[in-house]
Structure 1
């Protein structure tokens, strides 16, 4: 009898603790859901107040290449991968490091630096750093408040300009905060930031790199696509008369039949309530939009989209589709 009472007491205590934990979890979910809707209201007001005008006398580049240094996939076993983004972009004589990877394990040298060494990329080649948005898989890791990081230890940058979507600092590097559409150098532009409310992560400001390829049009290089491809294309059309020639980068479509850590994180870091998830129709609609706009070159980042999503784009765009994998350069030329 005594043993039964003891077991019953323990079970009741476990039930009580579980109930308290569930209550705490429910309160957390309610809090972030309420904040999410408030953030959406703030974003809607902010976006209505932004005045956008077209660039005049848009200049161009003759050659453009994009080399993924950090990504989720690679065809070369000597190169390292992670669920982050960093691309080396060469536009004529200008070299841009687009985002700086994740470095999830806070290592030195980071995956970014290890892959740069293997690919014979000298850090001194870099003219500019372009940070698409302030999420850890693009700024070099967790716990970075108002900065970005190329590795756990300090990496010296000589005569580099960093274009960021919000106020950041990095040693003595010159930082330029880009809120509105801006010409960065010959043929190279930022769309300016587009804000989006994200459940759990708050308001995210994301800018897209836009490069005008001579006689072709605008190539959009996207970090995560949190604002949605529809909003990014609209912004590009609002500021350029030139057609959209290419779309390369993240679109954040983590659609999968399998539950995994990656898919859970991607659904939480989304501009919608995580339990609603993404629908296949959203992917089909994005593909239809790019086809309607007659986009000639498309490549989707695997760091924030599933294999199913990527396969849909491959099937529709055929030879126009470019795989985004570490170490495989995507070349654009005006005589293509």
Structure 2
């Protein structure tokens, strides 16, 4: 299993571009997956640098509706209709980033954007766990079972926030977008869905200072899980990222990084 970060807040070296957001190319067995697309065409440009043929993708999946994770779909290079897996709420991601939550009155341009996405892609809207390839799961709505996690974005309950999980010989690999539903909630759900213990957790952990995340409790939870590989990236405050690196001893990846499992 290989994961190339097509977009992330920081670059891994000078060959790559970065912007606030997330996108990953996942090569799992014989299935090629694009998970999130960031805000612009950065994911496409980094794929070109990495010599990745985006046209060979079997499926695209969105982690949630926020535009820094899926507005990049508007810049897609596909000539055929790729399968796009998302929670029913997630297509609202392509709105202006300041229009949140999406349940308020929407601007007229939303109709045009939704029409484009539904015209360009084979949209599969699911709220339950969905095995889109053997051993590969779109987790759907994440149960809020961990008491120390808020599981929301300010006052938005974020029912659409989800992640991907993969069965491997060494255990479950979880790839997250932003983890508004709670990184420990996501991992607990991933273990239930895959029937495996955690081997690796990669992606946005949403441990951001203004929201006063339960950092101590999160660290203790991951310690108790004994996860061999922990790689938090997007939406982790710098001081919290530094603490996680001290606690778990990893080199932080960035846009362009290749993670091999």
TM-score under structure 2 length normalisation = 0.80
Written as runs of structure 1 = structure 2, the 5 A alignment for 1:1-336 is: 64-103=1-40, 110-140=41-71, 149-151=73-75, 155-158=77-80, 160-166=82-88, 168=91, 169-194=117-142, 196-199=151-154, 203-214=158-169, 216-255=170-209, 267=210, 277-279=211-213, 282-301=214-233, 303-318=234-249, 321-332=250-261
The structure carrying a bigger helix percent of its residues is 1
* Residues 1:322 and 1:97: Cα distance change in structure 2 (over 3 Å): farther
2:110 equivalent in structure 1? none
TM-score, normalised on structure 1?
0.63
CA contact (8 A) 1:298 1:322 kept: no
What is residue 95 of structure 2 aligned with on the other side?
none
Q: Deviations over 1:165-219 (max 9, x none)?
A: 12644424211112111211111012212385433656441121001112x1101
* Unmatched runs of 5 consecutive residues or more in structure 1: 1-63, 104-109, 142-148, 256-266, 268-276
Does the CA-based 8 Å contact 1:157-1:173 persist in structure 2?
A: no
**Unaligned stretches of 5+ in structure 2?**
92-116, 144-150
Equivalences, count: 228
> 1:96, 1:310 → 2: CA distance?
27
CA–CA distance in structure 1, aligned partners of residues 223 and 259 of structure 2: 20
CA-atom RMSD in angstroms: 2.0
Which structure would you say has the larger Rg? 1
